[in-house]
């Protein structure tokens, strides 16, 4: 009997020990407290977006613990749970999706530890339920908010509230494809910690504020597809961390400032579809990290030979189409060995096509059509075969390809046979005739040559027609 007692005792001790470990474990993972105010603010904020039917205390009694909500993340501060991320939008089956009459609730601003807030496809009825971003209260999130995103909310209208300028900790401000309007306020330029500013696909108007050039932590600046006007601020030369600059599809004008050439880290510059004029900016040749340069559809004017293209060693895409460029195509462009896409079409380029362009090892599209290029194209049959219709040289009235240099099956589309070639044969034969020896055949060789040329060009035409048919039905071209 005396021996059993210590055993009983030790079992008891073990039980108490395990129980206390188990209970403590539960305590830490589940029962970390969340202040009533924080829970209520979360429930009320969510309910305003997703609808009255959504009863948080019923569905998610412990939202930061054992009943997590898709799109909500929490963190512990001083032993209490706080909401740090809140994401609305149909990304997953169980995401918080907005109701048709979603609205902002002031309770949102009671979530003082919020780091990331995003709305994807939440406000979608610009006619029936237009919603504006609240103008007040953002300052209470100034210390915490790092990422704010509104994406694909056509029903989100009105202006960017000026109080956004107080969100000094923002790293990322993304307002893509909403119905936002008005001028961009200079106080967005106060957000000096921004790494990404994306305002693409809204209806913003007016000039780009000068002080945007002070956002020198920016890595990505995208304000494409708006109606911004005026010139590019010279201060943009100060955006010296910038990797990507996309201002395409606006109404920007004036000369592209030389200051852009300071931004040595840029890998993408897209200024296409604006009204930039004043010629090509020489300092662009200093952007040694560039991989894509797209300046198409601007009345830029000027001459390609003014830049030392060979400096842009990493360039993979160069689109300079429809820019009213004059002059010749410099051979230095053929020094850009990494080029995959080269668009020089629809300009006023003259002179010969440098044969070296055909030796670009990775080129898969080369567009030279719609210019006034002259002379003979001297590319190989292999090249025409490889590129097919992605080699464009049509609409150059004085350009031709030489007869006999290639099988007609790989003739460049829309380019005619060189008449000079024919003339050469004709004058050659003509001179022999004049020399007297061939008096008796007189005009007959001319006639037969004429027929054979007709035959060849007829064949070429047929082959071209076939190629058009083949290419337009092939999904791979």
Ligand X SMILES: *[C@@H]1O[C@H](CO)[C@@H](O)[C@H](O)[C@H]1NC(C)=O
Residue 151 or residue 369: which is nearer to ligand X going by CB? 369
The sign of the dihedral angle between the CA atoms of 135, 204, 155, 97 is negative
Residue 282 or residue 434: which is nearer to ligand X going by CB? 282
**For ligand X, what does the binding mask look like between residues 304 and 333, x meaning CB under 6 A?**
------------------x-----------
Produce one character per residue of 86-99: b if its CB has 16 or more CB atoms within 10 Å, e if not: bbbbeeeeebbbbb
**For ligand X, what does the binding mask look like between residues 372 and 391, x meaning CB under 6 A?**
x-x-----------------
361 forms part of the interface with ligand X (CB under 6 A): yes
The number of helices, as runs of H, and strands, as runs of E, in the chain is: 6, 25
288 forms part of the interface with ligand X (CB under 6 A): no
Angle at 365 between CA 364 and CA 367, to 5 degrees: 160
Binders in 228-267 for ligand X, by CB under 6 A? 258, 261
Q: How many CB atoms lie within 10 A of CB 9?
A: 10
Distances (CA, A) of 438 to 10, 426, 431, 444: 127, 14, 10, 10
Residue 155, CA atoms < 13 Å, CB-side half-sphere: 20
Q: By rule CB under 6 A, what count of residues binds ligand X?
A: 20
Q: CA 32 to CA 459: how far, in whole Å?
A: 83
474 forms part of the interface with ligand X (CB under 6 A): no
Residue 96 or residue 133: which is nearer to ligand X going by CB? 96
Q: Which of 35, 251, 337, 444 binds ligand X (CB under 6 A)?
A: 337
Angle at 296 between CA 294 and CA 299, to 5 degrees: 135
Instruction: Quote the DSSP letter at residue 116.
Output: E
CB of 58 to ligand X, least distance (A): 4
* Segment interacting with ligand X, rule: CB under 6 A, options 28-36, 127-135, 233-241, 295-303: 295-303
Q: How many CB atoms lie within 10 A of CB 289?
A: 15
Distances (CA, A) of 37 to 242, 243, 300: 41, 42, 59
Which tokens belong to 309? 């293209």
Q: Which of 216, 288, 306, 398 binds ligand X (CB under 6 A)?
A: 398
* Segment interacting with ligand X, rule: CB under 6 A, options 52-60, 82-90, 163-171, 210-218: 52-60
Residue 350 or residue 457: which is nearer to ligand X going by CB? 350
Q: Which of 211, 283, 380, 409 binds ligand X (CB under 6 A)?
A: 283
CB of 441 to ligand X, least distance (A): 36
Max distance between CA atoms of the chain, in angstroms, equals: 143
* Segment interacting with ligand X, rule: CB under 6 A, options 54-62, 80-88, 192-200, 387-395: 54-62
Q: Which of 55, 162, 203, 288 binds ligand X (CB under 6 A)?
A: 55
Distances (CA, A) of 268 to 197, 298, 306: 15, 17, 21
Q: Which of 161, 237, 338, 430 binds ligand X (CB under 6 A)?
A: 338
CB of 271 to ligand X, least distance (A): 12
Name the site residues for ligand X (rule: CB under 6 A): 55, 57-58, 258, 261, 282-283, 286, 297-299, 322, 337-338, 350, 361-362, 372, 374, 398
């Amino acid at each position: 009997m005396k021996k059993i007692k210590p055993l009983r005792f030790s079992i008891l001790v073990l039980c108490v020990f395990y129980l206390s470990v188990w209970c403590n474990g539960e305590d830490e993972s589940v029962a970390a407290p969340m202040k009533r105010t924080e829970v209520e603010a979360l429930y009320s904020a969510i309910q305003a977006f997703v609808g009255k039917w959504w009863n948080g205390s019923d569905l998610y009694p412990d939202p930061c613990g054992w009943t997590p909500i898709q799109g909500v993340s929490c963190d512990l501060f001083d032993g209490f749970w706080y909401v740090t991320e809140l994401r609305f939008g149909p990304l997953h089956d169980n995401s918080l999706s907005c109701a048709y009459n979603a609205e902002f609730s002031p309770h949102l601003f009671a979530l003082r530890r919020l780091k990331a807030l995003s709305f994807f496809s939440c406000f979608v009825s610009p006619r029936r339920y237009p919603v504006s971003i609240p103008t007040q209260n953002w300052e209470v999130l100034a210390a915490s908010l790092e990422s704010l995103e509104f994406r694909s909310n056509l029903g989100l209208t009105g202006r960017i509230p000026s109080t956004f300028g107080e969100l000094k900790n923002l790293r990322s401000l993304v307002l893509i494809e909403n119905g936002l309007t008005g001028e961009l306020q200079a106080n967005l330029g106060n957000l000096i910690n921004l790494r990404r500013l994306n305002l693409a696909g809204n209806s913003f108007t007016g000039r780009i504020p000068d002080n945007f050039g002070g956002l020198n932590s920016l890595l990505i600046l995208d304000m494409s597809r708006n109606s911004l006007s005026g010139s590019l601020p010279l201060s943009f030369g100060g955006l010296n961390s910038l990797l990507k600059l996309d201002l395409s599809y606006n109404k920007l004008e004036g000369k592209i400032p030389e200051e852009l050439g300071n931004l040595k880290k840029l890998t993408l510059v897209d200024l296409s579809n604006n009204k930039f004029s004043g010629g090509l900016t020489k300092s662009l040749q200093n952007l040694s990290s560039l991989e894509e340069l797209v300046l198409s559809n601007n009345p830029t004017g000027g001459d390609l030979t003014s830049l030392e293209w060979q400096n842009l060693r990493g360039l993979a895409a160069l689109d300079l189409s429809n820019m009213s460029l004059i002059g010749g195509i410099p051979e230095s462009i053929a020094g850009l060995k990494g080029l995959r896409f080269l668009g020089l079409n629809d300009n006023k380029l003259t002179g010969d096509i440098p044969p070296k362009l055909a030796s670009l090892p990775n080129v898969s599209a080369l567009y030279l059509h719609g210019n006034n290029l002259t002379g003979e194209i001297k590319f190989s049959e292999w090249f025409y075969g490889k590129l097919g219709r992605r080699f464009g040289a049509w609409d150059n009235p004085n350009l031709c390809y030489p007869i006999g240099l290639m099988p007609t099956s790989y003739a460049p589309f829309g380019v005619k046979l060189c008449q000079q070639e024919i003339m050469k044969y004709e004058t050659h034969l003509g001179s022999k005739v004049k020399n007297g020896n061939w008096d008796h055949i007189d005009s007959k060789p001319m006639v037969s040559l004429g027929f054979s040329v007709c035959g060849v060009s007829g064949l070429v035409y047929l082959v071209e027609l076939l190629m058009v048919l083949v290419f337009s039905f092939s999904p791979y071209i």
